[in-house]
Chain A
Amino acid sequence: MRNRVVGVILFLLGLLVTLTPRFILPVCEYHGFPAMNCSHTGIAEMFVGCILMVSALGLLFSTSHETLRWATVTALVTGVSVITLPEAIGYCHSSNMPCNYGTMPMLRLTGSAIILVSLAGFVLSFKGYRKA
């Protein structure tokens, strides 16, 4: 049950990361600006979101605590990536640009939520299971 709950939440967060840079709060390129660093960040974020969704899907079809543990570790890494990718690849630092006031805050928020959920899932993976 806990695998499914954590899996569903992580899947939805992964979906959010995948859809944000293009559809929910699009990066500048989709507001009529030319392609720039924030466009590349958006693509990278969508890729990371897909990885998170795949790892969350694994949780939906498994009841093993080992799966929960490793899936949440993967999710933790993706959560950190979601937050750090904009700094690594780059985005527009002007507060008048759509990626600065829309996409990046949303991604930071989602990334933080992913980290919290995956940490909770990681802790849960040690509780209630007895060693063989």
Chain B
Amino acid sequence: MMTLWWAQIVAVIRLEMKKTFFAKRGLWVYLLAAAPVLIWAGHSINMMMIRDHQRDVATEHPLATETLESIQHGMSRADVEEKLGPPYSRRMVRTRRQDRAWLNYTDGESNYTFMFEDGELRGISKRQIYKCSIPQDSLIFATVFQFFYLRLAIFFGCVGVFMNLFRGELIDKSLHYYLLAPMRREVLLVGKYLAGLITTVVIFTTSTALQLWTMWLHFDRAAIDEFLRGPGWHQVAAYLGVTALACLGYGSVFLAAGLLFRNPIIPAATVLLWESANLFLPAALKKISVIFYLQSLCPVVAPPDKEMAAPLLLLVSSAEPTPPFLAITGLVVLTIAVLIAASFRARKLEINYGTE
């Protein structure tokens, strides 16, 4: 019996793969997963270009930091150029009332911009060019991962994939082919769930791995090796695990929503609002959400948004993170419970396309 069920589950997965994984209608899920990879790749390429440009400039116009630091307000432009040599770039604005000039120098680490009014130094601006470090980028990655990737990309990806499994088939009027096969409805449910899970886990964990890889692309080999020897591999494993668990948890919820509700977008919107408001909920209510356990499992705590309005910042509450073992067990138990509830509904499912 188990052999037969397993063969049937594999057959359902194979069918779903053709329709979901390899179909044009699934393209938007790939785009959702690819978007953060492109952002990190763009950042890395940008950083590499800036770093290389600054190094080239520093090679062509070598200057020591002490020399640049020795320039004082009030010095004339001629004195500055004599001391530092020609700048690597300049900008001049001439009006009837005054002449303004900006001269840019670099020591390879920072950009110095000297602003002259009528030939006299009035302003000095120093900007560190390459202010990335792996710990800093890891903090930004944690914020992007927890507030955008989990809550938007994986969330909407799972909505699209899992809700389509039953509700989409009902809309397409093709569910009856499955119900006319010599297969228990519970087996069909498991097969469809696993198909959705494989699709989302493969797509989103690949995206997570690529995000991490592209994030580190512009760092030196030595810095990366040192990071990996430290917390690096643990963070990689944690993020991949959280991604997979997110697909597991959200997948079961949206599969059940697709079975239980004629308009499954309403429960999806409710879950979205609830998860979005998780930051502001009291500790007891925070625990009634998938995102709370997922965030507990993330290796780096994401800081709150600095640009959040002050009144909203006051409402942010924190709760004790759940231990990893409990978080994982809780999510798995939730998934199984939701699937069992969904299977009761699947057993009673009737085909009445006219009302869909």
Are the chains A and B members of one assembly? Answer: no
Please give the residue numbers on chain B whose beta carbons come within 8 Å of chain A beta carbons, in ascending order.
Answer: none
A interface list, Cβ under 8 A from B: none
